[in-house]
Amino acid sequence: MSDSASLRDITDFAQALALEAGELIRRERDNNTLRTDYKQQTELVTHADLMADEFITGAIRKRFPEHRILSEESMPDLSQAEELETPLWIVDPIDGTVNYAYGHPQVAVSIAYAEKGRVQAGVVHAPFPGETFRATKGEGATLNGKPIKHSGATVPRDSLFATGFPYTKDNLEPLVKRLDAMIHNCRDLRRIGSAALDICWVACGRLDIYYENVSPWDFAAARLIALEAGATAGHFGDVPAGYPADLYGRDILISAPAIWEPVRQILRSASGYD
């Protein structure tokens, strides 16, 4: 299933799922039926997360029963990313759950499709502003059907960056060092609360830089969208041998092309990697 027509069909299917899941989570919040809980004692999860996850994964299983699924809520086994022979769907039913629970609009449904560890199709749908980012490998990226492109930023000093922080607070020192270095070398920080939207905003020029440590479901779809919008994506740390770079979320860095290497050096130095 690697010819362009089939991949376009897959992207269409992912977009249809994302739009319907987005309507579900919007309806749940608008109807004041929001119920929350915690996983691993620290990470917020809502009933809508689980409902959207069940809807998306159920639809994928029905249409592609032979495919595997890596989903934040129901199937978060990261070893799935290392088994490359069977097509893999990477799903985050609500990226930005804390935003969702607090009534903020920066919330997204993220769905990616990968073959042999390489992401081939991705959709990120933000239901509250009504924005749908999508990309099929080799065909460019769009926002609500219109082509998008990175900002074209040329120097870090004039660049706006985004990042995030983990729910567990026991190892923040390296992150604070990176933040300190970036604040001193860039224009300013934006803390949006959804990695998928952070990256899509780099793709469409609302941001110039994004870096963080995240899981595949947070970034897989958005990373392809950014690449197809002409941004540069990689890592400021090392990727383990044999692990697909498309799905490795530690030390991820995505930016306008001209500033990627200078920012990489800032982050490597702040991390003590050099």
Which positions make up the binding site for Mg(2+)? 72, 92, 94-95, 218
Gyration radius of the chain over CA positions:
18
Per-residue DSSP letters for 165-203?
A: --S--SS-HHHHHHHHHHHHHSSEEE--S-HHHHHHHHH
Structural contact between residues 130 and 108, judged by C-beta atoms closer than 8 angstroms: no
Binding residues: 72, 92, 94-95, 218
β-bridge pairing 68-71 and 88-95: parallel
Structural contact between residues 135 and 141, judged by C-beta atoms closer than 8 angstroms: yes
Which amino acid is residue 264, in one-letter code?
R
Q: Which residues of 170-194 are buried (b: 16+ CB within 10 A; e: fewer)?
A: eeeeebeebbebbeebbeeeeebbb
